[in-house]
Amino acid sequence: MKSMDLSVKIGPLALKNPITVASGTAGYGEELSKYYDISRLGAVFTKGLSLLPRAGNRGNRIIETHAGMLNSIGLENVGLECFLNEKLPFLVSKNAVVIPNVAGHSIEENVELCRELSQAKGVSALELNVSCPNVKEGGLAFGSDMKSFTKLLKKVRPAAGLPLIVKLSPNVADVASFAEAARKLGADAVSAVNTFLGMKIDIERGAPHFDNKIAGLSGPAIRPMAVRIVYEIYERVRIPVIGIGGICEASDAIEFLMAGASAVSIGTMNLVTPAAAMDCLEGLESYMKKKHIGRVEELVGKAHRA
């Protein structure tokens, strides 16, 4: 058998393989680089960026669930200047494919972030975050209301001089309709999905565990729902999808590919097993070899052709 082709296309963006790490779980690549060569990844999605440094939410931020994690980080990040001067050069030095997650408070902030990041050497694409449930401004406010979503995309798309990926929320009645709108408004791809809304009550205090009350649920518990959403998007919209949600091992990644994802992002599992993404990549290679699959793109959407 000839060598396997793991390369994928995400709109105009070419990746060496479909295994990436999700925003918010991989920092700025520095942490994971201690465990493996991050240039082997298809891409690194960095923590959500704002123009100025953001402290994030007060109080409790993370708690484990039986099959995942609730988080209320609040998009803490170093800000654009520090990212450009310190974090991006490190990623470039490691030959990583860099996709910053854009998480502005307002339309204007998102536009400026996209404009500045598009001009930065070493940035390959942008991921617009319209789905974080842990902030009061921006985030889910954009991704759960079609009018706000449309207004944002109409302003951001012209400012983004690079491939634009929109990170969708699962906390709407019809995620595929937002994917369809994203395509019509010029997005090159969508990430599906961000965390599901969840909550934890501290029964000793009789009060919510998080100061923000509501938190984002991630991990294996959400995988069946995330796979269903990717499947529905693929059926409705011809736009590349990056599948996210509870991926722990290669079989999970392959399931997302067969549901219609062109690539996948490992999230919560990075915090459990830092080398999880490499395990997924090597497992994918082994699966393809075993099944005599020459190109990984043969797996994309296979469940729809069964």
Q: Are 193 and 244 in contact (CB under 8 A)?
A: yes
Contact 187, 162 (CB under 8 A): no
248 an active-site residue? no
Catalytic residue among 82, 114, 132, 248: 132
Q: How far apart are CA 258 and CA 301, in angstroms?
A: 5
Cα 212 to chain centroid distance, Å, stands at 22
DSSP for 143-210? HS-HHHHHHHHHHHHHH--S-EEEE--SSSS-HHHHHHHHHHTT-SEEEE--PEEEE-EETTTTEESS
Please state the φ and ψ torsions of residue 258, each to the nearest 5 degrees.
-65, -30
- Asked if 99 and 124 touch (Cβ cutoff 8 Å), the reply is yes
CA–CA distance, 305 with 25 (Å, rounded to integer) = 33
Q: Is 28 helix (H, G, I), strand (E, B) or coil?
A: coil
Strand partners, 166: 128, 190
For residue 165, give the H/E element and its range. Answer: strand 164-167
Active site residues: 132
